[in-house]
């Protein structure tokens, strides 16, 4: 968003973000504990209604929901999300932007940004990577940039996710700073960028 503010200095672009610890499940699936949890999808209808009410007086407001699809069928997932929005009777403009397969695909969409952030990257792992493919996305990035690759990260993580989560946050921060938005070849990232630019330019 900071890069878009720089690109459109004549526009007043205000934004706020809310992060979630996990994606969860839509209300019709998952066990009782999952449905009661604090993950995004568990209570998506409640979040959408809340954001819709809080933005009701703001002109040109939009709710951008960014999430990954993991193993889900992308179009079916998008239809399910839109159904929740429809049932929530929203008035605020909204769009669901799905990272295919996961957020690391958006980082892998800009090889130059990865190399600027990590000059010693192992490019060979990109040769077999299919952009936005349903494959081991974050694992490819780990092999490229983490000392000792994926096996090194798993060895350090052991049975805990904390080290993996820490590494993913570092990649997003360091590579994200170097991203050239228009150069990113990830189709799902380009959809996100297009959704944002259409709304900014129309405001």
The tens digit of pLDDT for each residue in 152-196 reads 999 998 877 788 999 999 999 999 999 999 999 999 999 999 999
| 33 shares its domain with 64 | yes
| 192 shares its domain with 176 | no
Is residue 35 predicted with pLDDT exceeding 70?
no
Is residue 62 predicted with pLDDT exceeding 80?
yes
Cβ–Cβ under 8 Å, residues 95 and 64: yes
| Structural domains of the chain, count | 2
Is residue 140 predicted with pLDDT exceeding 90?
yes
| 90 shares its domain with 6 | yes
| Region 8-24 average pLDDT | 91
Is residue 87 predicted with pLDDT exceeding 60?
yes
| 77 shares its domain with 163 | no
| 22 shares its domain with 92 | yes
| 58 shares its domain with 140 | no
Q: Under DSSP, is residue 37 helix (H, G, I), strand (E, B) or coil?
A: coil
| Region 87-111 average pLDDT | 95
CA dist 67 and 4 (Å) reads 20
Per-residue confidence (pLDDT) for residue 25, from 0 to 100: 81
The model's pLDDT over 126-139, given as tens digits with 9 standing for 90+, comes to 998 999 988 889 99
Q: Is the dihedral of CA 165, 17, 103, 175 positive or negative?
A: negative
Per-residue confidence (pLDDT) for residue 34, from 0 to 100: 44
| 148 shares its domain with 166 | yes
| 10 shares its domain with 95 | yes
| 123 shares its domain with 192 | no
| 174 shares its domain with 194 | no
Per-residue confidence (pLDDT) for residue 20, from 0 to 100: 85
| 160 shares its domain with 114 | yes
- List the domain range (segments joined by +) for residue 153: 104-181
């Amino acid at each position: 968003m900071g890069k878009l503010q720089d690109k459109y200095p004549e526009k007043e672009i205000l934004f706020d973000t809310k992060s979630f610890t996990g994606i969860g499940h839509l209300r019709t699936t998952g066990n009782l504990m999952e449905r009661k949890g604090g993950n995004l999808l568990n209570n998506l209808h409640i979040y959408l209604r809340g954001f819709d009410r809080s933005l009701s007086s703001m002109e040109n407001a939009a709710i951008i929901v960014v999430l990954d699809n993991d193993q889900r069928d992308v179009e079916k997932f998008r239809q399910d999300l839109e159904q929740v929005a429809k049932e929530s009777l929203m008035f605020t403009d909204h769009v669901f932007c799905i990272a295919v397969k996961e957020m690391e695909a958006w980082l892998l969409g800009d090889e130059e940004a990865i190399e600027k952030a990590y000059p010693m990257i192992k490019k060979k792992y990109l040769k077999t990577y299919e952009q936005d493919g349903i494959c081991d996305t974050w694992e490819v990035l780990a092999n490229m940039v983490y000392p000792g690759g994926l096996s090194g990260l798993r060895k350090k993580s052991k049975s805990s996710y904390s080290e993996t989560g820490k590494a993913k946050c570092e990649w997003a921060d360091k590579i994200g700073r170097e991203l050239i938005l228009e150069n990113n070849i990830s189709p799902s990232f380009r959809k996100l960028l297009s959704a944002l630019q259409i709304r900014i330019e129309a405001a």
